[in-house]
Amino acid sequence: MAQTDRLHSFRIRASQADLAAWERAAANADMNRTSWLRSLAADAAAGTRHPGILADEIRALRRELSACGNNLNQIAHRLNSGSRADPEAALDRLGNLMGEVSDFLHDAHAPKRKGGSRTRRQRQ
């Protein structure tokens, strides 16, 4: 067995629901729970993940998605009332926003791999 410099340990109290959620998240990242928690702590210590900033970014994305939804509803209302509407710009913006959301979610959930690169998991 290889010798390690990991001589310290700590305990955290967690509910059954928290523990189950952490187990699922670790499994989704192809990691065990200890490695997954260690990677989260290492990312936070390195400044690569900021939970508060992440929450702010999610709120901003929700606002943008809501605005796009409102625009689509207005277009649908105009079209259903017999008025003319050009949905092309709104649909282009929605497509771009969907790409941004996809990229954001991938970056937020992608486990950090050896060497610092992030790889997208292949769908099976």
**What does each C-alpha distance from 98 to 89, 95, 107, 110, 118 come to in angstroms?**
14, 5, 14, 18, 20
Taking residue 33's Cβ as centre, other Cβ atoms within 10 Å add up to 13
Mean pLDDT by 10 residues, the chain (124 residues): 74 91 88 87 72 70 83 82 76 81 70 46 42
Q: pTM for the complete prediction? A: 0.40
